[in-house]
Amino acid sequence: MSRVVITGASGFAGGHLAAACQSAGDEVVSLTRSGGGPGGEAVDLLDAERTRAAIAAARPDVVHHLAALAHVGRSWGDPGATLAQNQAMTLNVLEAVRTEAPDAMLIAVSSGEVYGPPASLPVDEGAPLRPQNPYAVSKAAGDLLAGFYADAHGLRVARPRAFNHSGPRQPALYALASFARQVAAGLEAGDEPIRVVTGNPDARRDYTDVRDVVRAYRLLAGTGTTGVVNVCSGRSASARELISALGRVAGAQIEHVVDPSLVRAHEVMEVRGSAARLRELTGWEPEIPLETTLADTVAWWRSEIRAGRAGGRVHE
């Protein structure tokens, strides 16, 4: 058992992490603006003093910092807020740990987006940082800041760079979740075939189930692993392949429609990471097959649609 603080526990990955920690018997304190999540406390992480007081009160063994404005597309709409708020939240958490919980293990969650267009595949931790969107720049800044605090102040900091991760409860702003929601809406409506709209059908991304990703975060904390560590499957899939797999798990015919307005200019055609360092340090391997992730996500969206909590047939 550990006393665990999670920032961003009301979010997608943070919620799964909080559930995993609780299942393992950890005492969880969630720091979110709304106070949502297990043991939730409403704390504005942009307020340095309140963040410091919350960390002092929690007396954590482990701090998982996931809170962020975390959508690439939305970061283009307001780059100033993304850059300023993500950096400020990370700085405030680092300062709070430095002053109030210097012996705690800090998992400062970063992103595979910090690498930008890969010079070679698979991408390992030695690849240069070439962030190509405001969100990625904000995560690269936070990543470097966390590394600086480890070097300058002797904090124990792991910096997991998580590539694409998906699963139940992910908002449909993200590609795989959007595809799954469209399939779920079609199943609920009895459509045959089910129409699914995507952007570039051939761009390939490295997907890992969110439940495997948060298991990696917990292993990093438990083993005391520090430094930069990729969290990824080491396999890539295209949107075309995802749609085909969704049809199989749903037992449905799919009409795959490519919307030119969703095709990004200068699309990076493949991103695939190496998790060799994570495997060597912790023994972690992805355990949940992609088709299980897809099936579970479709099932979750169907339940949301039946309960009236999803935008059903609207594509995002």
Report pLDDT digits (tens) over 16-71. 999 999 999 999 999 977 666 666 778 999 999 999 999 999 999 999 999 999 88
Q: Which CATH architecture has domain 167-205+235-269+288-306?
A: Alpha-Beta Complex (3.90)
Question: Under 8 Å CB-to-CB from 205, ≥6 apart: which residues?
Answer: 163, 164, 175, 236, 237, 270, 271
Delimiting residues of CATH 3.90.25.10 domain(s) in the chain: 167-205+235-269+288-306
Least confident of 10-14, 134-138, 162-166, 310-314: 310-314
pLDDT of residue 312: 41
pLDDT of residue 253: 98
Delimiting residues of CATH 3.40.50.720 domain(s) in the chain: 3-162
CATH homologous superfamily, domain 3-162: NAD(P)-binding Rossmann-like Domain (3.40.50.720)
Q: How far is CA 36 from the centre of its chain?
A: 18
Q: What is the mean pLDDT of residues 231-237?
A: 98
Answer left, alpha or beta for residue 169, where phi above 0 means left and psi between -120 and 50 means alpha.
left
pLDDT of residue 89: 97
On average, the pLDDT of the chain sits at 94
Of residues 287, 305, 263, the one with CA closest to residue 175: 263
Q: Is the pLDDT of residue 120 over 90?
A: yes
The token pair at 250 is: 């749903």
